[in-house]
Amino acid sequence: MPSSADDFLKAVLRSGLLDQPDLQAALADAPAAEPQALADHLVQRGRLTAYQASKLLLGAPKGLKLGPYHIMTPIGKGGMGMVYLALDTRTKHHVAIKVLSPQRKKEGDRHLARFQREIEIAKDLLHPNLVLAQDVGFEQSVHYLVMEYIPGQTLYRLVTNQGPLSVARAARLFSEVATALEYAHSKGLIHRDLKPANIMVTPNDHAKVLDLGLAIMQGETADDQQVIGGKGHVVGSFDYIAPEQTRDAAAVDGRADVYSLGCALFFALTGRAPFIVSGSKEKMQAHRHTPPEFVHHINPAVPPEFAALVYSMMAKSPEHRPASMADVRAALTPWASDESARPMDRAGDATFQAAVAALETAPVQADEEAWGFTRPQTPGRSSRWIEDDARFKLLVIAVSIVWGLVFLLLILVFLLR
């Protein structure tokens, strides 16, 4: 904590969140001159969020302002870094900013390359059921992507907290997802990472597809397979990955997304991933060879005919699945409820403003705990990337040899005594 009120106020000014006249006006009726009291006062006046105040009290003003965007609070975390709620000071609109983790940047150029790919892919997409990209930037050695802010919760969190969805609701939400993916596929784009954690359900109960970090243009090739995947480099989330994607992630088409969407629908109706096995290799083998359990047997409220649709989406061979997302949408629509008349969520909605207000005043948690885009935990835990595991095998062998030598040395010492 800053040693004095003066140090705290200097941190506020260095952050760029407030200029000196605004700060002086906000402090005109401040009750005390202690750093914590001043921070609490600025939060109560709405001049700082609880998250901003916590960072400034730690003497960490850097990164709270990126270009015209004021970082307000963390709302998610992914494989590339944190996602924050931010305020565009030009338009006064709230946005979501995905920031490339400094640690990821240090680990190698491939993480930056993937992040830049997502920026390039997202900027040309425009669909009401896809999260829209709005801007990109680089400041203070930070790469960031600006997207529309979507209040609500992920499908993963919704089902985990409230239980499996009804068939009518699941059919309506997943028909919206299929519509978004039908649009993406028409642009040649394959998502490759569809899962409950990448489907946002809004307050008005509409679906939005998130996270294009692993997307690929059909037929795309690259010299660096660590960026787009290929044989020996598996890209995807292992609870929801298509069998053919585990063999050659760069050679897939839209039917790989059909399979993953079927797995996500399985989760929505049952509350669990299709295959309850541990380890990435075991999960890949299950997707390749093990038939999924019939959804109706897990949740009898699901009619056998609808369960058969889920089963067909999860066929091992792409030729045995629905041929396109248009076919998936057409199959889902007759089962969907009539609640879709509710309007799409907009920034001026009362529910939107309430969601923002709740985030601004929420108690600050550790960044790792403040996940809005929650990633599944065991047994739904996912991994975004498996490198060629030869290096891992060599490491295991080396460690085994070292421990073997230590063991032999201990035996020798014992015998000599």
Q: What is the CATH number of the domain that holds 333?
A: 1.10.510.10
For the chain of 417 residues, list the mean pLDDT of each consecutive stretch of 10: 81 94 89 87 92 92 92 81 91 90 55 70 85 84 86 93 96 96 94 94 93 81 59 82 92 95 98 92 95 96 97 97 97 84 81 82 51 31 38 58 74 72
Please tell me the total count of domains within the chain: 3
Tokens at 49, concatenated: 């969020």
Residue 164 carries which DSSP code?
P
DSSP assigned state of 234 = E
What range defines the domain where residue 124 resides?
A: 65-148
Same structural domain, 277 and 200: yes
121 shares a domain with 242: no
Same domain? 19 vs 49: yes
pLDDT for the residue 3: 64
Is 212 contained in some domain?
yes
**Is residue 206, in this structure, part of any structural domain at all?**
yes
Domain boundary among 126, 148, 170: 148
State whether 171 and 304 are in the same domain: yes
Query: Could you tell me if residue 408 is inside a domain?
Result: no
Do 162 and 116 lie in a common domain?
A: no
Flag whether 188 is in a domain: yes
pLDDT in tens, 87-134: 999 999 999 998 876 655 544 566 666 677 777 777 778 899 998 888
> What are the Cα distances from residue 59, in Å, to 26, 64, 67, 268, 296?
20, 12, 20, 44, 56
- The answer to whether residues 176 and 322 belong to one domain is yes
Same domain assignment for residues 9 and 77: no
Does residue 141 sit in the same domain as residue 11?
no
Do 281 and 304 belong to one domain?
A: yes
Residues 338 and 200 in one domain: yes
Residue 354 domain-assigned?
Answer: no
Give yes or no: residues 203 and 335 share one domain.
Answer: yes
Same domain, 215 and 300: yes
- Please give the Cα distance from 342 to 344 (Å, whole number): 7
In a domain, 366, yes or no: no
What b/e string do you get for 51-83 counting C-beta neighbours within 10 Å, with b at 16 or more?
bbbbbbbebebebbbbbebbbbbbbbbbbbbbb
Active site residues: 193
Average pLDDT taken over every residue of the chain: 83
Residue ending a domain, among 118, 148, 178, is: 148
Residue whose C-alpha is closest to residue 386's, from 277, 237, 197: 237
CATH code at position 132: 3.30.200.20
Beta pairing partners, 138: 143
Note whether residue 415 is domain-resident: no
pTM of the model: 0.78
Q: Is 137 within a domain?
A: yes
**Which residue, of 148, 169, 185, is where some domain finishes?**
148
